[in-house]
Structure 1
Amino acid sequence: MASRFPERARRRARHARAFAAAVCAVAALAAACAETGQGSAAVRILTHRDFHLPADALEAFTAETGIEIVVFREDTPDDVIDLLERSRAHPVADVVVGVDTLDLQHVIDTGLTEPYVPLTPGPLVEDLAVGDHAMTPISYIDACLNYLPSFYVVPERRIDELPDAEFLPPPVPGGLAALWDPAHGGTVVIPDAATSRMGVYLLVALERLHPERNDDEAMPWPQVLDQMLRWNVELAPSWEIATFERFAGGEPPPERPISQDEPDPVTLQSLRGRLPMTWGTTGLPSVYAEYQPGLPPSLDIAVVTDDCVRIGFYAGVVAGAQNASLGGRLIDAMGEPLFQFGISDRFGSRPARSDIVSTPEWNEFGVAVHPYRPDPAYVGAHWKEWQLTWSQVVRNFETGPPPPEPEVTVTLP
């Protein structure tokens, strides 16, 4: 991704160099880093690679308090939870950061963290707070569909001219139902829920709309998933591949032959194999804007505001931590404006505090929605079971007989 977005890569490299003195990246967990003196105070953070820690905010925390920061970074949220459980007798970290809505209730119920009340809590975004201060909200995303607006523009024609069916686009997606609509067949890429956390967030949204166990006539989501696969919805192994390699959003429009008076319609062929719809976040347009050398006047990427899901991310003091009191001071700092303003990352995360001024990119391109807020206890008890069912449906589809060709009815505007 660095080669495609050099300015973004340079900014991250500068941050990394400034942060190197304060953060020790280790492949194997150890008691402390080589740069951290044995007699100095240190706080150990356990997180995963998908959670962004603002380097300047942690550097400022060390400069102000003298407390060094040691970061242990696992590959996935599952790895973080597994490590916390295996090291319960001798905790490897003082603070865990990046626990999401899916694992929140499990962490609380199993006592992997201990309650902590921030000293000066700021106003929070609605429904992020946790009872008894068992964990502290740090950020959130609203996950939903993203699409390429130019792909869905109906070509202009004379009043006496019939449209060319080859270039007639499907209707603009209005919600998740577009994923299993044959009119959108072959135009969608989504992260696979079997291998991607963002894919599991989509699975949570599907379960809400089409429960696997219900008494009405609506299709349960396993049948919906089968329909999606039959209409050639592409599964990508990760959110990054789905968004930055297969989705066409944020890319410059295809070049037009200068000899033509009218531009060609944007088609799948003109997108050179990339697809115009994916599952992302409301912050994805602002993320693409950050990749530009300056604030662009417009972006060819839009958000479907229906059927979104809000996922919170939390921090907590690890139960039995060696430096629990210092960990509490760090959690206080994570709720302060400097950390909260810097929380935005490549997912388009948003600060948990509701009074933080947005970045220029978010002010220009971010989208506010009214998302579904899943119950942490309910999704926490079921999401791994849903994930197994998802994998079984995909496996059955891949090994079964070829699906019938979809029948698509085109309605002329």
Structure 2
Amino acid sequence: MARRCGERLAGGLARRAGIRVAVACAAVLIAAGCGETDHGSASVRVLTHRDFHLPADALEAFTEETGIEVIVFREDTPDDVINLLERSRAHPVADVVVGIDTLDLQHIIDGSLTEPYVPLAPGPLVDDLAVDDHALTPVSYIDACLNYLPSFYVVPDRRIDELPDAELVPPPVPSGLDALWDPAHAGTAVIPDPATARMGVYLLVALERRYPERGDDETTPWPQVLDQMLRWDVELAPSWEIATFERFAGGEPPPARPISQDDPDPVTLASLSGRRPMTWGTTGLPSVFAEYQPGLPPALDIAVVTDDCVRIGFYAGVVADAQNASLGGRLIDAIGEPLFQFGISDRFGSRPARSDIVSTPAWTEFGVAVHPYRPDPAYVGANWKQWQLTWSQVVRNFSTGPPPPEPEITVTLP
């Protein structure tokens, strides 16, 4: 039964690390249970979502060492994971849940959807990731921030007696979230829409911190900032993948090349052919793109804006009243071990929760360390869905209202 409901990640199938299991299959798991596989060996069921990466080699090593097979099934979104946990409280569909983020951390705790578990040999953790009472165990984190293409912001070299071409003079390098509602920058940016993309919600958390909706009279609230962003032509993409890999990168990694004023072909919006040189991503995005290159490139045309970043943690836990809670605890132990932690980096460019894990070569060369905002899980957990509704209302009102005025852009020549 388990063989039909999940995907075996041991025994040579590591390359297919987890699939999404339909609700109908989850119902079968509820009825039949997955404590043992067809051959009677022990198994542990893992529930996650499509945005979270589980290192297949670490799971395979866990099975080889313990004899416990790992059956992974995925829901589409983190919300789907939470909903399934709540609907299956009486008969849990999984023993372990992985990929809970800061937005839903307090929801899991308040709903007692996991049970406390203290790993047998916990390693040193990155600051502020630990959870009180061990309701969840930190797995990884990202520092979400703005990314940009440095080549776009290079000022073309010119002779001292030559007048600059205003169309080729770029805006200054973005320095923070202010760039998103600056008319000189906004038309160069594409961001994941918080209404449809989890990465966009992380941007919304950063905006609320920088421009609180109910702040003092001297701070512009983020709904007004959003209105200005839309007026100056910030593009909203329905997903992080589209924003990053299509509209920002153009379907291929940014070229591996040095960034220099000596480039004979200045990078402009026209030369980017519809791509946009600024997006919302992570500090690990340069290392993600480096992995697409043959070997480590000498330079990479992607950089990180180090201000206004926000840290998002990802967690795992033993599901409350799980059929195989003890086996789930053994998997939680393995998740905290170096092999799993070293392999946790995924397409977001996430980092291991343990602070003593050596970075991958791509991270060592291209990863960027920042001092991010660490949101309070209780505060963001209680408010992010309301912020999401407000965002959608502002976007809807803008799209149905009168056309915005043309932006006035002042170019400051060097």
Q: 1:287 to 1:22 in 2, by over 3 A?
A: closer
Deviation at 1:18, TM superposition (A): 3.2
Matched with 1:3 is: none
- Aligned: 1:252 with 2:252: no
Matched with 2:177 is: 176
Question: Aligned AA for 1:302?
Answer: A
Matched with 2:332 is: 331
Q: What CA distance in whole angstroms lies between the structure 1 residues aligned with 2:137 and 2:409?
A: 49
Deviations 1:155-208 (A, max 9, x none): 111112221101110010000100000111310000000000000000000000
Mapping 1:1-400, distance limit 5 Å: 18-19=13-14, 26-27=21-22, 28-29=25-26, 30-31=28-29, 36-37=37-38, 39-248=40-249, 250-252=253-255, 263-400=264-401
- TM-score where L is the length of structure 1: 0.92
Q: What CA distance in whole angstroms lies between the structure 2 residues aligned with 1:371 and 1:218?
A: 20
Deviations 1:26-68 (A, max 9, x none): 4322326799326221110000000000000000111111111
Aligned-residue sequence identity (percent) comes to 83
Tell me how many residue pairs correspond in the alignment: 394
Counterpart of 1:167 in 2: which secondary structure?
A: coil
- TM-score where L is the length of structure 2: 0.91
Question: Aligned AA for 1:411?
Answer: T
Contact 1:230 1:403 in 2 (8 A): yes
Indicate the larger mover: 71-80 or 240-249.
240-249
Q: 1:275 to 1:95 in 2, by over 3 A?
A: same
Deviation at 1:16, TM superposition (A): 11
Q: 1:345 to 1:184 in 2, by over 3 A?
A: same
Structure 1 segments of 4+ aligned residues over 4 angstroms from their partners: 14-17, 20-25, 32-35
Q: 1:391 to 1:22 in 2, by over 3 A?
A: closer
Contact 1:22 1:69 in 2 (8 A): no
Deviation at 1:217, TM superposition (A): 2.1
Counterpart of 1:145 in 2: which secondary structure?
A: strand
Matched with 1:9 is: none
Deviation at 1:226, TM superposition (A): 0.4
Counterpart of 2:236 in 1: which secondary structure?
A: strand
Contact 1:212 1:221 in 2 (8 A): yes
Indicate the larger mover: 41-50 or 241-250.
241-250
Deviation at 1:253, TM superposition (A): 8.2
Q: What CA distance in whole angstroms lies between the structure 1 residues aligned with 2:243 and 2:301?
A: 17
Deviation at 1:22, TM superposition (A): 8.9
Q: 1:292 to 1:33 in 2, by over 3 A?
A: farther
Q: 1:16 to 1:410 in 2, by over 3 A?
A: farther
Unaligned segments of structure 2, at least 5 residues? 1-8
Unaligned segments of structure 1, at least 5 residues? 1-13, 255-260
Deviations 1:310-349 (A, max 9, x none): 0000000000100001100000000000000000000001
Question: Aligned AA for 1:19?
Answer: A
Contact 1:22 1:62 in 2 (8 A): no
Question: Aligned AA for 1:316?
Answer: G
Q: 1:238 to 1:16 in 2, by over 3 A?
A: farther
Deviation at 1:21, TM superposition (A): 9.3
Question: Aligned AA for 1:300?
Answer: D
Counterpart of 2:171 in 1: which secondary structure?
A: coil
Deviations 1:245-301 (A, max 9, x none): 0003842389xxxxxx96121101101110100000000000001111211111000
- Give the root-mean-square deviation of aligned CA atoms: 2.1
Question: Aligned AA for 1:118?
Answer: P
Deviations 1:192-247 (A, max 9, x none): 00000000000000000111112322110000000000010000000000000000
Counterpart of 1:182 in 2: which secondary structure?
A: coil
Question: Aligned AA for 1:140?
Answer: Y
